[in-house]
């Protein structure tokens, strides 16, 4: 196992990880569309084909989240056979 002290190329002179090491770290992003508040009774009665109204409006931006924190917003687009997000705003 390589630790920062055993692999000097991965650290800076201050001992912090270098940008090249950090840039290869994989993270999971989530696209948040909206939320709904339902009772347990409503939840128990849900069946395939039922519709749940979300708080988000149709043309409202979708949030892109990292660890539950919004980092960007955008609009839903098609990327081949998949959904994607075209970024319209980076959250500071």
CATH number at residue 62: 2.30.330.10
- Structurally, the chain folds into a number of domains equal to 1
Tokens encoding 41: 């009774």
Residue 80 has pLDDT above 60, yes or no: yes
Residue 32 covered by a domain: yes
Say what the pLDDT of residue 6 is.
Answer: 53
Sheet order of strands, 69-79 included: 29-32, 62-66, 69-79, 82-90
In-domain check, residue 7 = no
pTM over 0.85: no
Domain of 71, in residue numbers: 27-90
**Chain-centre distance for alpha carbon 15:** 29
Whether residue 35 is contained in a domain is answered as: yes
Q: How many residues does the chain have?
A: 92
pLDDT, tens only, 9-20: 565 666 678 888
Q: What is the pLDDT of residue 12?
A: 62
Residue 1 lies in a domain: no
pLDDT in tens, 19-75: 888 888 999 999 999 999 999 999 999 999 999 999 988 889 999 999 999 999 999
CA angle 15, 17, 22 (to 5 degrees): 175
């Amino acid at each position: 196992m390589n630790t920062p002290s055993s692999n000097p190329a991965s650290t800076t002179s201050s001992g912090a990880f270098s940008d090249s090491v950090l840039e290869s770290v994989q993270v999971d992003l989530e696209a948040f569309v909206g939320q709904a508040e339902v009772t347990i009774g409503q939840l128990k009665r849900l069946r395939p084909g039922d519709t749940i109204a979300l708080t988000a409006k149709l043309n409202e931006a979708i949030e892109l989240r990292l660890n539950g924190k919004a980092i960007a917003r955008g609009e839903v687009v098609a990327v081949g056979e998949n959904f994607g997000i075209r970024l319209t705003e980076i959250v500071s």
